[in-house]
Structures are given as C-alpha cells and as structure tokens.
Amino acid sequence: MQTGQPAPETVGQVARCVYESLALKYRWTLERLEAIKGGRIDSLHIVGGGSKNRLLNRMAAGAIRRPVVAGPVEGAAMGNILLQAVALGELSGIDDVRRVVRSSAEIEEYLPLDAQAWEDAYGRLLAYMAAQ
C-alpha cells in the first residue's frame, strides 16, 4: 500500500478501517466547518440510523476530541413534524422543539477517549492527504 500499512484482510479489519476513516474524516470536516463559521463547534450531533452505531459514535467522539450526541433515530421525521407544529403555533420556537425532542427521544452522549491515539491517527491522515 502507498501508506506502508498492511491491507486489511478480515471482515473485522475492513470494518475497523472504514469506521476509523469515517471518524477521522468527521474531524477533518468539522475543522473545515469551524473555519467557515469562524468559531468552535462544541459537539457533533448524529441523527437517523447512524445514531445507532455505538462503535462509530465512540470513535467519532475520540477523533473529533469532543462529545458526540446520538439520536433521535427518526430525526428527520421528528424535525419535520415539530417544525410544522411551530408553524401552526403549537410550539413557540426552537427552544420548545428541543425540549420536546429531549423528552420524547432516546439520546446518547459519547465522550472522547484515547486522545493521543486519535491525534496520532489524524496526523497520519493529514500527512497522507498533503502528499497526494
């Protein structure tokens, strides 16, 4: 391989490679968004089906070095319904929407772990990307 790393051979190794790559790309993307925004983003919210992937959510928290908030699973449908409730005057605004979501959906928070290992992996990713 171009990076000098062994190619994954087992299903588990391939899955780990995919998940770690996604988690590191989340960080790369988050840093780009922060540059556009001109400020720090304190957490990453993952909604929909991806919010059920506990391994990826743990990896993402480590890679981005901040909490990942996972859920609700039906975030798009829930958001649509709740914004319609705002439009109809049933809810007063975004604070009400957030309160309803928190009280009616399972939300899990994942905190960053293994900071140095993720920092090292991110450094390797940036070096590889710069060499391309």
User: Which tens digits make up the pLDDT trace of 38-62?
Assistant: 999 999 999 999 999 999 999 999 9
In a domain, 93, yes or no: no
- Where would I find the H helices in 65-107? 75-87, 94-104
pLDDT tens digits for 66-91? 999 999 999 889 989 999 999 999 99
Q: Is residue 94 part of a domain?
A: no
Q: Would you place residue 5 in the very low, low, confident or very high pLDDT band (cuts 50, 70, 90)?
A: confident
Tell me how many domains the chain contains: 1
Residue 122 lies in a domain: yes
pTM: 0.84
Question: Does any domain span residue 33?
Answer: yes
Query: Helix, strand, or coil here: 89?
Result: coil
Q: For residue 88, is it within any domain?
A: no
Provide the domain limits for residue 59.
11-71+106-127
Domain-located, residue 30: yes
Burial of 74 (0-12, 13-18, 19+ CB in 10 A): middle
The answer to the question of residue 37 being in a domain is yes
Would residue 5 be called left, alpha or beta, if left means φ above 0 and alpha means ψ between -120 and 50 degrees?
beta
Q: Would 64 be classed as within a structural domain?
A: yes
Q: Is the pLDDT of residue 4 over 80?
A: no
- Tell me the C-alpha distance between 40 and 69, whole Å: 16
Helix (H, G, I), strand (E, B) or coil at 46: strand
Question: What would the mean pLDDT of 29-43 be, rounded to a whole number?
Answer: 97
Q: Which of 18-27, 35-44, 96-105 has the lowest mean pLDDT?
A: 96-105
Residue 42 — φ and ψ, nearest 5°? -80, -20
